[in-house]
Structure 1
């Protein structure tokens, strides 16, 4: 597959904006910076941030085992996804394929960018219908989104299905791994060298507990990363976000401990949910949440709201009729949830 054939023609010839920090490549040391029209009075954030986020990428490279040149960072995963659309999808011409029920931003971004949406609903086990996906794809199908572990269902897709789709889909396959840290499955980022059309997105919002700083991650070939760097805003990840990310990534053992605690709580929650008589099914989860089927999702959702507990009602999603989604909380929060579920 020639990735260059998938890139939008205007993006191929685009000359990227060159910021002051891009043009100066030397060691900052004791240099006097009078190049970027910044306020010269030091307050910790008066200077523009590193446009390439080198320190953050170095830490991620060490933790994830992915070379820095294969990493792009964005203002949340949503910006990363939007950049992917802008790089590969021609408005009012190309299409993308989604597999509902899935993360809603894929469709929102497609609509914003005037891209047609083709959908193939997951099967009864929330697994991709591989043959139907490949059949619906056409010459204008540029992106295929696989959310694994999937939101809102919580399950991981079978590796054999994913591999077949990567090999046979003629466009870019984007695997959204926002919840991969809660799964025993290996990240597909470890196989980037095998598949030139593979992209993997992750985030610091879930396992790393930094939803508030908005830092999304993209792993892809150096060729694809260079395309995204060409079109991203010059200072898309602010200084405060970079500082907080560095601080958190430098204590990665804390994240490991918190993930383990969440997994233990997830297991305990599943055991207790079995004793709630109006829950008819508990779906397997590789994420930090649990999807369950109840007798009347809207009724139970409203009852929990009145008791001061906010969960997610997913009954409107394809294949999720009368389903509720519970995020795994602290032991105290989970006890309140279970006690309340049993009392209503």
Structure 2
């Protein structure tokens, strides 16, 4: 049987080398503020439309989130939006699977324990996709990052210790800036990054999965009402750094790459048009000096229909060589 202790975050932490504690052992050590304990079988859980935080077979009890309002649901959706921008800068997709089941099975293959995070992130979805209907412990690769939103809950007192014992590489725990009268005491707005190091979570000031992205800046990006220029700078920097690791650039993103190619083509066309216009003006001045204003004016009307820089250059040569303005106009008409 596994040796247990209550970790520094209040959840059940597994001693290195021990087997994972079973549900009967883990459940009494965990508290779920902000949740209602509801008796449920796995079939009930599968059919349930509400927001379940945790379930285990031994107690047939689900912890159901009491307040799943906009403040709780906004950060996972905002994170998905800003990770799309990072993926565009990197040049390859980052996949957010949302509140997917994180499942442990028993010896008979039945769901033994289920946790649900608020956002589940895979940096390289092209190499692997999770099983349906869940990410299975010891069968599927774990997400690179999961996000837990503690608006009226406190994951440190329950699931965080399990995330550690399961080996999740990085967990973000964010408390929104918007207050709630139902928020557990001691929770303050901010975002904490827990990175797995030697089998234990350690608080880190910066993400390992998204290098160069500090916890404080992630928190700001999840809580600002409009994406600020500084956040856009952060996302560009992090995306380019990830692209440098992968050997990709924004040109590898189908949408951004197409826009950049279109912009390049538009710029070339605009530059060419400006060059042709300047060439016409120069030829008009040359004709005015060599002939007279009336000839120059009539020549300008002719030049307005010429877009080929080579043709304009040839006309410039004729202006220099020709001594009769009327003859030149007749030649060009």
Aligning the two structures, in what range does the TM-score lie when normalised by the shorter sequence? under 0.3
For the pair shown, the structure with the greater C-alpha radius of gyration is 2
TM-score (norm 1): 0.25
Could you say which structure has the higher strand fraction?
2
